[in-house]
Amino acid sequence: MTTAPVKEATHDERAAGCGQDELLEIALGPHHPSTHGVFRMDVVLDGERVVKLKPVFGYLHRNHEKIAESASYLASMPYTDRLDYICSLTNNWAYALAVEKLAGLQVPERAEYIRVITAELTRLVNHTATIGFLTQEMGASGTPLMYAFREREKILDLFESLTGSRMMCNYMRFGGCRVELPAGWLEQTKKVVEEFPRFLDEYEQLLTGNEIFMARAQGVGILKKDLAIDAGVTGPMLRASGVNYDIRKVDKYGIYDRFDFKIPLGEHGDVYDRYMVRMLEMRESLKILHQALRDLPQGPLMDPKAKIRGFRPKPGEAYGRIEAPKGELGFYLISDGSPNPYRYRVRPPSLINLTVLEDMCRGYSIADTIVIFGTVDIVLGEVDR
């Protein structure tokens, strides 16, 4: 933790009020044990209470958008893995979707199913990791995070056998997917999906009714519905505030209209609701996975019209978005007819969800601030790009 210069009280002030109204300005981060990476909050404290909080970004600004302008469309695909590096497959999908809109490509049915399967597995990975980190930040160091990572490893094994990489999958292509499922992959996935509820039950037994957890989570960091909409908050955070808005249902991108699943909604918009929405969302993801694994058809993996080399979309622009585990992940592309995009923009859910951080944290103590921040669920690679 680096400490910004503390506001020096003059001798007279100290003598008069004994520092009662003295405000303390602290820079939390960019290296701080409980933040998610290199994120900094400039906090003004009155005693232990947060009076003002200004997030400071840019410590992981890796110029993704600038680099993409000088690379071909396909060459940006591996960079999208590194945006939100916990869920690379949903990032792939969002980018592929935007380019497919730009170039008018159709995705074969089998590829759509595989996309849904990988995306929902990614959602499981993301939510387990988020809740693991959240409990770590509440002081439950070790156990819940260990359990979460144990489950995560099982899914990463699936990703590795499918795509060749644990984290940076680089699996989707414009108009389909890169490779066919390896032998035995479906059976293994079914096994993981079938065993997953056991882990969720175990986790819920540990946390959902846990008195300490409830005391730390309930009524803390409340986000009102109107503010959430105004500030563009999306994903589980928005739904925990009671807004029924899930892009899987609204846009019905891919083949999400074929599956039977529910959208869990919160009531209070506090830390506990955000935790519960994620837990319930994992169970809904498992439902989708069961259906997708059952119905997976045979067929080609790529649109025959899609060109890997010499891919030049017509001049124009397109905005494509999906429901990533963290919220609305969108890609906005402007093509000028050349092999490189003229403008390549990522709409990062993590960054925009942080708009309301100050409103949620004001009046709470530093320890609560860290917990509230944990439920926003950000990944710095996406915040700063």
Partner 1 sequence: MLEEIKARLDAAVPGCRSEMILNGSPSGQHSLLLDSAHAVEAATFLRDHAELRFDYCSNVTGVDWLEAQHSPGYLEVVYHLYSMEKKRGPLVLRLRTENRTDKVHLPSLTPVWRSAEFQEREIFDLYGIIFDGHPDLRRILMWDEFEDHPMRKDYVEPDDYEYEPTAHDDILAKAKQHAMGKSQEP
Partner 2 sequence: MDQKLRIELSKQGIVTTTLEELYNWGRKNSVWPMTFGLACCAIEMIATSMARYDLARFGAEVFRPSPRQADLIIVSGTVTKKMAPQVVRLYNQMAEPKYVIAMGACAISGGPFKQGYNVLKGIDRYIPVDVHIPGCPPRPEALIDAFMTLQKKIDQQTLTGEGRPRHLDPEAPSEFVVPRFGAHDLEPPNNPEVFRILNNIDSRNPGEVDAGGD
Residue ranges that bind partner 2, judged by CB under 8 A: 2, 30-33, 37-38, 58-64, 66-67, 70, 78-79, 82, 85-86, 145-146, 149-150, 152-153, 166-168, 380-381, 384
- DSSP string of 48-61, one letter each residue: TEEEEEEEE--TT-
The smaller minimum CB distance to partner 2, of residues 176 and 381, is found at 381
Instruction: Work out whether 355 is an interface residue with partner 1 (CB under 8 A).
Output: yes
Instruction: Work out whether 229 is an interface residue with partner 1 (CB under 8 A).
Output: yes
Residue 30 binds what, of partner 2, partner 1, none (CB under 5 to 8 Å, by partner type)? Answer: partner 2
Q: Per CB under 8 A, which region of 197-205, 257-265, 317-325, 365-373 contacts partner 1?
A: 317-325
Min dist CB 333 to partner 1, Å, is: 9
Min dist CB 382 to partner 2, Å, is: 11
Instruction: Work out whether 61 is an interface residue with partner 1 (CB under 8 A).
Output: yes
Residue 161 binds what, of partner 1, partner 2, none (CB under 5 to 8 Å, by partner type)? Answer: none
Instruction: Work out whether 347 is an interface residue with partner 1 (CB under 8 A).
Output: yes
Contact 98, 333 (CB under 8 A): yes
Instruction: Work out whether 338 is an interface residue with partner 1 (CB under 8 A).
Output: no
Eight-class DSSP state of 340: S
- DSSP string of 321-371, one letter each residue: EEEETTEEEEEEEEE-SSSS-SEEEEE-HHHHHGGGHHHHHTTSBHHHHHH
Residue 380 binds what, of partner 2, partner 1, none (CB under 5 to 8 Å, by partner type)? Answer: partner 2
C-alpha to C-alpha distance for 272 and 224, rounded to whole angstroms: 14
Tokens representing residue 336 in the block: 């000028």
Instruction: Work out whether 235 is an interface residue with partner 1 (CB under 8 A).
Output: no
- Residue 24: in which H helix or E strand, if any? strand 24-28
Q: Per CB under 8 A, which region of 151-159, 290-298, 299-307, 348-356 contacts partner 1?
A: 348-356
What CA–CA distances, in Å, run from 183 to 122, 173, 189, 222, 290?
21, 21, 11, 48, 19
Residue 146 binds what, of partner 1, partner 2, none (CB under 5 to 8 Å, by partner type)? Answer: partner 2
Contact 374, 137 (CB under 8 A): yes
Tokens representing residue 322 in the block: 């999906």
Q: How many CB atoms lie within 10 A of CB 24?
A: 16
Min dist CB 104 to partner 1, Å, is: 3
Instruction: Work out whether 107 is an interface residue with partner 1 (CB under 8 A).
Output: no
- DSSP string of 270-322, one letter each residue: SHHHHHHHHHHHHHHHHHHHHHHHHH---S-SB-TT--SSS--PPSEEEEEEE
Instruction: Work out whether 58 is an interface residue with partner 1 (CB under 8 A).
Output: yes
Q: Is 263 left (phi over 0), alpha (psi -120 to 50) or beta?
A: beta
Residue 118 binds what, of partner 1, partner 2, none (CB under 5 to 8 Å, by partner type)? Answer: none
Instruction: Work out whether 345 is an interface residue with partner 1 (CB under 8 A).
Output: yes
The smaller minimum CB distance to partner 1, of residues 79 and 213, is found at 79
Contact 358, 37 (CB under 8 A): no
Min dist CB 195 to partner 1, Å, is: 36
Q: Which residue has the tokens 């009714």?
A: 209
Instruction: Work out whether 319 is an interface residue with partner 1 (CB under 8 A).
Output: yes
Contact 172, 178 (CB under 8 A): yes
Distance linking the first and last C-alpha atoms of the chain: 23
Contacts with partner 1 by CB under 8 A lie at 57-58, 61, 63, 65-66, 70, 101-104, 227, 229-233, 243, 245, 250, 313-321, 328, 330, 332, 334-336, 342-343, 345, 347, 351-352, 354-355, 384
